Chain A
């Protein structure tokens, strides 16, 4: 198994990279961590005529944190993001989810922005970006645009990235005050693609009653599904809310496809159970935050 020949571009600045992508158009593909792309090349499931390797581009390996959120550059590796304490303190869901992305060795090379651009329906970061209402910063020669998560993912392994365009960074906003988050998934083996995964965010009011309960899913739909399950638990104290009812509420809205790993019914069952568990955990995390905390 060897990749088919391609023309190699090794830009050292973003401008050079965008220039190369502009020249090669739809025959071009960006190579960042390559942990999804290179297996596809090795198996010849993909054979782009041009690869634009951005590993030598300066200034893309950034993780910028402020009080409003975390901006992750195109070359920041999963391990680097997961290990970033400042990012963890404002958006804990990043580390919670990244621990479930493949294996540690893959996370040393794979990039967070790359996995978003790959738009795999089983990619954990797609659910994180969608649940938090984040966005992607895209650039092409002479132009740039910011696309919200809800518009970025358009199909399985398909984003709204156009030929000649590149994902430069991803923006993960800080959730509202008194919000707890968590990520749970079930996979055949630890580190494998999940049969179902759920990211949850629960926001409480000052009296520890539920203001909002939301979830997003991987391996259930072609593009990340975000559900607002608040109506099942609204106004209830966090420890007396009927989280199982919230799980049941999700069942009607989950319509997964069967595959070799799980039937549709089993996948939906996992969705319901994981929804209950993830929401319960997230509520507990939210309640444990110090009184008066802004987060």
Chain B
């Protein structure tokens, strides 16, 4: 194997949570591995690596996608949002706050994928019904919680978003 050719690599530029990042990756580097290994952002978790569990879900140009089912080279030039990009400084994202309040996590392994997925769902549909909340998380697996508290967290996150915007409007009016 000594004469095996070195694998060809490609320079890529991504915007990750608003920060331009560059990496030099082989074409077969999954976006999930690029984030974790090349960019050292380990908030994105890798579970099944074939698109079933949803732990690796990130937002690509605002839409949730499986980072294990994309090559990093295909994401060239995209805006990526990972779980590290949800909070605003010390202020938790409404979905994170809701998971904390509703005990929406236990071991936490699946949580990054739930948080990114739900944040995008609430952007599209700020007032989901319980049925819509179940549908929203149907593509993510959790082996601890039994899902009830996660569904409650989706509904609570919608409430928190409304409360915060009401406060913002109130403060703007003073």
Interface of chain A residues 46 through 96 with chain B (CB within 8 A): 51, 53, 55-56, 79
Which A residue's beta carbon lies closest to that of B75? A55
B50 at the interface (CB under 8 A from A): yes
Asked if B63 is at the interface of the complex by the 8 Å CB criterion, the answer is yes
A108 to B51, CA, bound (A): 13
Q: Which residues from 10 to 49 on chain B have a C-beta closer than 8 Å to any C-beta of chain A?
A: 10, 26-28, 30, 33, 49
Within the assembled complex, what's the spacing in Å between the Cα atoms of A51 and B26? 13
**Does B64 interact with chain A (Cβ within 8 Å)?**
yes
Complex Cα spacing A243 to B64, Å: 41
Q: Does A15 contact B (CB under 8 A)?
A: no
Query: When the two chains form the complex, which single residue of B65, B69, B74, B138 contacts A191, counting CB atoms closer than 8 Å?
Result: B138
Check: A154 CB closer than 8 A to any chain B CB: no
Q: Across the interface, which residues of B come within 8 angstroms of A4, CB to CB?
A: 28
Chain B CB within 8 A of A103 CB: yes
Closest CB in chain B relative to A57 CB, distance in Å = 12
| In the complex, chain A residues whose CB is within 8 Å of the CB of B28 | 2-6, 41
B73 engages A105 (CB within 8 Å): no
Q: Decide if A294 is an interface residue (CB 8 Å cutoff).
A: no
Contact A42 B49 (CB under 8 A): yes
Residues in B neighbouring A1, C-beta threshold 8 A: 49-50
Q: Is A38 an interface residue (CB 8 A)?
A: yes
A8 pairs with B10, CB closer than 8 A = yes
Q: Given A6-B28, A7-B8, A35-B51, do A104 and B139 touch, yes or no (CB 8 Å)?
A: yes
Which residues of A are found within 8 Å of B135, using beta-carbon distances? 104, 190
In the complex, chain B residues whose CB is within 8 Å of the CB of A109 = 60, 65-66, 69-70
